[in-house]
Structure formats: structure tokens, C-alpha cells
Amino acid sequence: MTYDLVVSGGTVVTASDRFEADIAVDDGTIAAIGDHDSFEADTVVPADGNYVLPGAIDPHTHHGIYNSLADDANTESRSDLVGGVTTIGNFFRRPGSYPEIMDDYFEVAEANYRHDYFFSLGLLSFEHVEEIPTIVDELGITTFKWYMNYKYAASEKFGVDCEMRDDFGNAFIETLAEQEAPTTLGYHSENVEITNALAGGNPYVETESDADAASADYGTLVEEFPDYAEAQSLVAGASLAKQHDYDDSFYAVHVSAGRTADELAALQDAGYGVTGETCTHYLTLTAEECDDRMKVNPPVRGPEDRETLWERVADGTISCIGTDHCANETEDKLGETIRDSQLGFPSTGTMLPLILSEGVDEGRIDLERAVAVTSTNTARAWNLYPKKGAIRVGSDADLAVVDLDETKTVTPELLQSAGDYSIYEGRDVTGWPTHTIAGGEVAYEDGDVLAEPGSGTHVDRPI
């Protein structure tokens, strides 16, 4: 028979194996895997001795936070394909009733994403907690987020009648644990009693200008958001999840500190099923080289933290990579002082290349582990597997053909995001996709994004 598409001549790499094979695709899914030159197809993608990986998944993005969801879905999915990302998870938070407002957001997303996506909803009130069964059953959304950084700030920031204290978190976890469908709770680890005190007030609530704002720099952020405030909060949140037998579905987002990663390892050694995520900026930067462009919460820390995080990625303690991606432009990102500057930066397009360059090329992890942390483990954690994150018959044909020897210098033009800057600008990165295949179609090829807006769709869960 003749297939729709064949990826030919490559080495297939999964989270546990690598082997020489061609991959045949029909109707958007993997139809067969076999010896080289054993399939005929309408379209042949030449891997030519390169490596064929499952499409990368960035579970931690914030589309629609600084721009419209329509704009971000279009431009940021374009950038994602440059970097071999074929699915993203959008942490999405709104104060209204989700069953009442999400249809409009789905309509916008469906018209603009160039690859598949899923929503993870930030719950902001007890009313949102009560909506969980409807969200799961009717919206196909099974993943959520508890923002510990909005404790005591949600009422002013979002206009909700909730301070997001532990009684709210307890009801949140208890309700998730009651659902028949598998769910996941992303947890922002931060003890705000500590960080607010050090920062002189909650940074998420409008206050008068800090008299010392002009003298604040990146080191100030590190001091005001210390590693122990993150580590303590992780342990407390995981313990609460354990009380409801929900620790296997508890996911610690953006672990930034070596201390936190070590606490995560201790929890896992004690029998907790907690999943840990770190982000590429924590693995590739240090506070000493950061400026206002890298403002993010939690902040980038020291070189010891960076190396501990890599060790914990390698030993399995940290099993997923995200980016905390936000699309913004320099004129909006940078304020008069670092306190006025926006949180977040565009980075999904560099996720997989940075892991290949700083992880595989530098000998910190092998290629199989890179696949695990950028795709397979993420698919499992966010209830997408085996539809996503796998190269197997029946899985979605989301693939990245990568040349591990290709070095490119990062520029905004290369990444094709709406962002006019990159925190990695000027950096030489080794290991880039030559082709990205999304839903069985060639979506990116040698510098050109071919997928049109509307090519992607929401991944309804449970799978």
C-alpha cells in the first residue's frame, strides 16, 4: 500500500531505546514502523542519518496573558514548530465560570493553533472548585493549577471572593481526587508569607512605588524569592496531596533551586509519587548573567543550583521540562526598573534544542533521557499518553527529525515568535530539527513553517 507520509532513513529514538527504522503515517497517526526503504508514500521526509524523536511537548506556557489568545496561538505555535514542539499545554486562568466562558476560547484556539494543544486551568475560587466535575466531563480538560503565589492576592488581582489559602487548596485537591478520570494538579511552590515579607509586600498587588526600586537588580529578586521558600512550599503541598492519596498526580512546576530538587528526591524516596518539572532557563543560565529580560518567578539562581538540577534530571528525580513561556516584546517587557518589568519571556522554540545542546551534547544526559523529559514523561504526567509522547503504531504522528551536529546562533528571526528578543540571543546551540511533523503533516522544514493557523486541535482528555 501507499501511505500518506514516510520518514525514511533515520534512527528512531524513544525514551528507552533507539533503532534504525522508517515510520509510515496515515490519517495523522503512525500506521507502521519497519526497515528502511520498506514503505511507499505520497510524501517522503528524508531523515538521512539523523534522529527521529517524538514531537516535544511544552506543558508550561501562558498563551493569552500579554496578547490575545488568537495572536499567541498563531505566532507562538509557529515558533514552537521551529524547535520541534508539536503540542503545548496552556496554563489559562480567568475569574469567570469556566463552563460558561471556555467555548469562546476554544473557538479562537481552534482557528489559530498550528499544532495540537491542551488547556490546564488555574482555579481561583471555591466556585471554580465546584466546577471541576463539569470541566472534566464536558470540556475534556483534566489538568489544573494551584497558584500559591496568588495567596492573599487573588481577590484584588482577579476580583474573586477567595484568598486561595490552604482551605481552598484542600478542597481543590479533595475534589480532584474524587474524579473518576485521571487528573493532574500543577503546583506553584512558594511560601508567600516569606516572599512577601522579604519583598516588602505582595508583588501581585498594586502598591506605591518602592523607594529602593531604582537600586534593585536581578540579585534582589533572588534574595526576595529564596530557595527555601520554594522548597518548604513544595513539601507542604505534596504532604497535603498525600493526605488525599493524590500525590501520584501532584506536579511541581518550574523547580528552580537545587534545594527544592533535593527535597523532591527525598519525597520520592519516602514513597511520594510527586512529579517534578524544571525549565530550560534554570538549566542554562545563572543569576549572575541575568538582567531585566530574564525576570521570572521563581528567578534563575546560582551555578550550583543549575548543576544540581541537571543531576536531578539525569537521575530521574525531575522528569519533565517546561519553559513558562510568555510572548512579550521588549518595549513591554522592560520597565523603568526591574520591578516595573514584566514577568516571563518567550522560550518554547528553544526548549528541545537547548536540552539537546546543553544536555546531550555536553554529556549530562543521553538522547533517550532527552526524549523522556521533553516528550514521553510529559505526555504521561498530563494525561496525553500514548496519543502523544510515543513513536508507536496508533499514536499521533508528531515527530521531530533532528540533526544533533547542527549549530545555530539564536536570534528572534530564527525563532519566529511574536517576541522581538530572546533571552538566549547570540547563543550557539547545537542540535536542531530539520523537519517537524505535526498530525502527520510536514509542519516545518529547513527554516520554513508550513503549517497554517487552524492546523492543530485541542487534545480532549481522558485519552
Same domain? For 305 and 427 the reply is: no
Taking only the tens place, the pLDDT of each residue in 220-246 is 999 999 999 999 999 999 999 999 999
Position 214 scores a pLDDT of 76
How many angstroms separate the most distant Cα atoms in the chain?
73
Is residue 460 a part of any domain in this protein?
no
Shared domain for 29 and 143, answered yes or no, is no
**Average pLDDT of the residues in 86-104:** 98
Taking residues 203-220, what's their average pLDDT?
69
Whether 404 maps to a domain, the answer reads yes
Q: With 80 as the cut, is the pLDDT of residue 380 above it?
A: yes
Same domain, residue pair 99 and 226:
yes
Q: Are 31 and 170 part of one and the same domain? A: no
pLDDT at 263 over 90: yes
pTM over 0.95: yes
Q: How far is CA 70 from the centre of its chain?
A: 19
The reply to whether 201 and 303 lie within a common domain is yes
List the CATH number of the domain containing 435. 2.30.40.10
- Inter-axis angle of helices 166-178 and 227-243, nearest 10: 50
pLDDT tens, residue by residue, 14-55? 999 999 999 999 999 999 999 999 999 999 999 999 999 999
Contact 358, 321 (CB under 8 A): no
**Distance from C-alpha of 109 to C-alpha of 86, rounded to nearest angstrom:** 15
Claim to verify: residue 276 and residue 159 sit in the same structural domain: yes
The answer as to whether 327 is a domain residue is yes
Residue 121, domain member (yes or no):
yes
Please tell me whether residues 377 and 422 are part of one structural domain.
Answer: no
DSSP 247-264: GGGEEE-----HHHHHHH
Those residues with Cβ within 8 angstroms of residue 84's Cβ, 6 or more apart along the chain or in another chain: 53, 55, 56, 352, 353, 400, 402, 432, 433, 436, 444
Is residue 26 assigned to a domain?
yes
Q: Is residue 12 predicted with pLDDT exceeding 80?
A: yes
The answer to whether residues 96 and 180 belong to one domain is yes
Residues 369 and 413 in one domain: no
- Report the C-alpha gap between 197 and 226 in whole angstroms: 12
Q: Which of 381, 413, 441 is the last residue of a domain?
A: 381
Please give the DSSP secondary-structure letter assigned to residue 372: I
For residues 237 and 319, state if they share a domain. yes
Residue 442, domain extent: 2-51+396-449
What is the number of alpha carbons within 13 Å of residue 114 lying toward its C-beta? 25
Tens of pLDDT, residue by residue over 128-183, are 999 999 999 999 999 999 999 999 999 999 999 999 999 999 999 999 999 999 99
Q: Which of 381, 409, 436 lies at the terminal end of a domain, its last residue?
A: 381
| pLDDT at res. 205 | 55
Half-sphere exposure in the Cβ direction for 402 (13 Å, CA):
34
Q: How far apart are CA 324 and CA 168, in angstroms?
A: 24
Percent of the chain topping pLDDT 70? 98
Phi, psi of 87 (to 5 degrees): -150, 140
Q: Within a domain: residue 461?
A: no
What is the total count of domains within the chain?
2
pLDDT digits (tens, 9 = 90+) for 102-115: 999 999 999 999 99
Q: Are 85 and 55 in contact (CB under 8 A)?
A: yes
The answer to whether 133 and 180 have CB atoms below 8 angstroms apart is: no
- Does any domain span residue 60? yes
What's the CATH number where 253 sits?
3.20.20.140
Q: Is the pLDDT of residue 204 over 80?
A: no
Range 282-287 average pLDDT: 98
- Cα–Cα distance list, 434 to 403, 406, 449 (Å): 7, 9, 11
Judgement on whether residues 177 and 290 belong to the same structural domain of the protein? yes
Length of the chain: 463
Say if 386 falls within a structural domain.
no
CA torsion angle 215 221 226 227 (round to 10): -140
User: Predicted confidence band at 208 (pLDDT cuts at 50, 70, 90)?
Assistant: very low
Q: Please say which residue of 334, 357, 381 terminates a domain.
A: 381
Distance CA 313, CA 278 (A): 8
**Position 211 pLDDT exceeds 60:** no
- Which parts of 179-277 fold into alpha helices (H)? 192-199, 218-224, 227-243, 258-269
- Alpha-carbon torsion (322, 355, 294, 227), positive or negative: positive
Same domain as 103, residue 23: no
